[in-house]
């Protein structure tokens, strides 16, 4: 696509003209709890706009406002200028404002990251040039595969990550890259590892040096069960659009084997991740099982039958994978992200849905392959703060913050008990998740987000 190619070319020109990042003092912070396992630092949308010199505090975030450095501000302004020059005139009125906001948010987060002394996995500094390259490349993918004539269609309810024709992993043989249809669809991007690209985009916005991973023994046990051909289902709370990247980047800090496990996970996702222009490039790089949540099925009675049929197809596809064994699934039983209480500022975990948990337990039992359930608590709210209220349509304001994040893999909940006691399983899983979530917030010095009922 001509527009996409011109954006990429412009990205290189802007990157070359950016000033080098100045030396920044290392951000110092300590965690008081000795029980916290630290990670290593070496390891057509509708959002609002803001181009101020300071990050704007959106309604969903209580993050302290910080000043962007001149180097990142200059790079940001050049990136915005480049974007405006390349957008077709008919797209300016609808895309200029939201994309400008997204760019401003991202450059602010990477400016904060650089000021904190964050290093990339190769040991290099986080720079304005890196921000330009990441942002304009991502936007080019979004415009090409999310909106353009080359829009990527997720043809199967179970999508397998596109890791690139040159992906070097003998354990993964992707025959799709032998098909002319995919080669023609991706064009020059046929060698792109969309999984790695998604991680590279969000990683510098994560304060990994001060992030935490709890329950590493449970994670190791889950890995061993998967290696033995058994299935593992992570029952997680869900806080940001970047949660798959959060899982990947934090698992990588534990070790290479866990990083490989993160890439193996299949994420249960709603329809927005395959239809929202900015979400599409990140979704292309993930193993997905696309299911319509109950709240979105009921929102439109006319489309409810079709969505229900698609869900049935997705369940059959998942059952097939579970029968094959060695499957790892991440699912948010709440059916959506945790939402901030606008009055108290607290962030409670959205309640687990009984029927959703029952469905996954049933699929595990029907597979005849041992299936293990681990509650997974996640703290990632400040990374990409969601709107305070559920939005049924495609697209939302995109906000990005530089912040520590955390994951707690809680004790396995045995898949036992008949129909008359199925509520006990769901209650136990949710209780474990809440306990892990509370421990994470305390360890991350984010006690302000802990609901009062969690402290009793």
DSSP string, 399-410: ----B--EEEEP
Structure tokens at 109: 């987060």
From CA 237, how far away is CA 334, in angstroms rounded? 7
From CA 208, how far away is CA 229, in angstroms rounded? 31
Q: Per 3-state DSSP, what percentage of the chain is helix, strand, and coil (rounded to 5)?
A: 50, 10, 40
pLDDT per residue over 259-303, tens digit each? 999 999 999 998 889 989 899 999 999 999 998 776 677 777 888
From CA 294, how far away is CA 305, in angstroms rounded? 12
What is the pLDDT, as a whole number, of residue 335?
Answer: 87
What is the pLDDT, as a whole number, of residue 456?
Answer: 66
| pLDDT above 90 coverage of the chain, percent | 66
SS3 state of residue 270? coil
- Model confidence at 391, pLDDT cuts 50, 70, 90, reads low
What is the pLDDT, as a whole number, of residue 35?
Answer: 32
Structure tokens at 98: 């939201």
State how many domains the chain has.
1
| pLDDT above 70 coverage of the chain, percent | 82
- Tell me the CA distances in angstroms from 373 to 255, 336, 363, 426, one per residue in order: 22, 19, 12, 11
Q: Out of 76-80, 92-96, 166-170, which region has the weakest mean confidence (pLDDT)?
A: 166-170
Q: Out of 19-23, 127-131, 235-239, 381-385, which region has the weakest mean confidence (pLDDT)?
A: 19-23
Structure tokens at 433: 């998740």
From CA 207, how far away is CA 231, in angstroms rounded? 31
Contact 16/132 with Cβ under 8 angstroms? no
Query: How many residues does the structure list for the chain?
Result: 456
From CA 5, how far away is CA 266, in angstroms rounded? 31
SS3 state of residue 29? coil
167: left (phi over 0), alpha (psi -120 to 50) or beta: beta
What is the pLDDT, as a whole number, of residue 147?
Answer: 85
At 299, which CATH number? 3.40.1130.10
SS3 state of residue 443? helix
Residue 393 has pLDDT above 60, yes or no: no
Domain range spanning residue 287? 2-175+182-454
- The model's pTM is 0.85
pLDDT per residue over 320-359, tens digit each? 999 999 999 999 999 889 999 999 999 999 999 999 999 9
- Tell me the CA distances in angstroms from 452 to 88, 347, 455, one per residue in order: 50, 10, 5
Dmax (CA) for the chain in angstroms is 67
- Model confidence at 18, pLDDT cuts 50, 70, 90, reads very low
């Amino acid at each position: 696509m001509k527009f996409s190619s011109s954006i990429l070319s412009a990205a290189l020109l802007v990157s070359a003209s950016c000033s080098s990042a100045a030396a920044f003092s290392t951000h110092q912070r300590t965690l008081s709890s000795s029980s916290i396992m630290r990670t290593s630092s070496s390891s057509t949308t509708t959002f609002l706009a803001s181009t101020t010199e300071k990050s704007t505090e959106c309604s969903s975030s209580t993050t302290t406002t910080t000043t962007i450095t001149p180097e990142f501000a200059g790079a940001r302004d050049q990136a915005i200028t480049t974007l405006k020059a390349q957008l077709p005139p008919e797209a300016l009125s609808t895309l200029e404002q939201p994309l400008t906001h997204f760019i401003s948010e991202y450059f602010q987060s990477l400016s904060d990251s650089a000021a904190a002394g964050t290093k990339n996995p190769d040991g290099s500094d986080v720079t304005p040039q890196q921000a330009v390259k990441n942002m304009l490349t991502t936007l080019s993918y979004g415009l090409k595969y999310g909106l353009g004539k080359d829009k990527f269609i997720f043809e199967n309810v179970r999508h397998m990550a596109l890791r690139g024709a040159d992906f070097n992993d003998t354990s993964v043989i992707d025959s799709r890259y032998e098909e002319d249809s995919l080669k023609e669809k991706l064009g020059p991007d046929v060698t792109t590892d969309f999984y790695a690209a998604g991680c590279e985009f969000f990683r510098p916005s994560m304060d990994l040096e001060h992030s935490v991973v709890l329950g590493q023994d449970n994670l190791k046990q889950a890995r061993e069960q998967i290696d033995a051909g058994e299935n593992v289902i992570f029952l997680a709370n869900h806080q940001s659009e970047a949660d798959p990247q959060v899982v990947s980047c934090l698992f990588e800090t534990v070790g290479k084997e866990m990083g490989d496990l993160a890439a193996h996970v299949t994420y249960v996702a709603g329809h927005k991740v395959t239809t929202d222009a900015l979400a599409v490039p990140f979704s292309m790089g993930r193993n997905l099982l696309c299911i319509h949540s109950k709240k979105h099925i009921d929102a439109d009675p006319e489309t409810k039958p079709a969505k229900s049929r698609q869900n049935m197809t997705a369940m059959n596809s998942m059952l097939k994978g579970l029968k094959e064994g060695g499957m790892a699934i991440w699912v948010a039983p709440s059916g959506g992200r945790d939402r901030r209480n606008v009055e108290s500022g607290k962030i409670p975990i959205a309640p687990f849905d009984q029927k959703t948990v029952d469905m996954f337990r049933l699929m595990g039992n029907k597979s005849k392959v041992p299936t293990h359930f681990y509650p997974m608590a996640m703290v990632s709210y400040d990374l990409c703060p969601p709107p305070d209220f559920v939005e049924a349509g495609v697209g939302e304001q995109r906000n990005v913050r530089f912040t520590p994040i955390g994951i707690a893999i809680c004790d396995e909940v045995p898949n036992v008990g008949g129909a008359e006691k199925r509520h006990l399983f769901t209650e136990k899983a949710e209780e474990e998740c809440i306990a892990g979530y509370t421990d994470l917030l305390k360890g991350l010095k984010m006690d302000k987000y802990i609901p009062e009922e969690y402290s009793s």
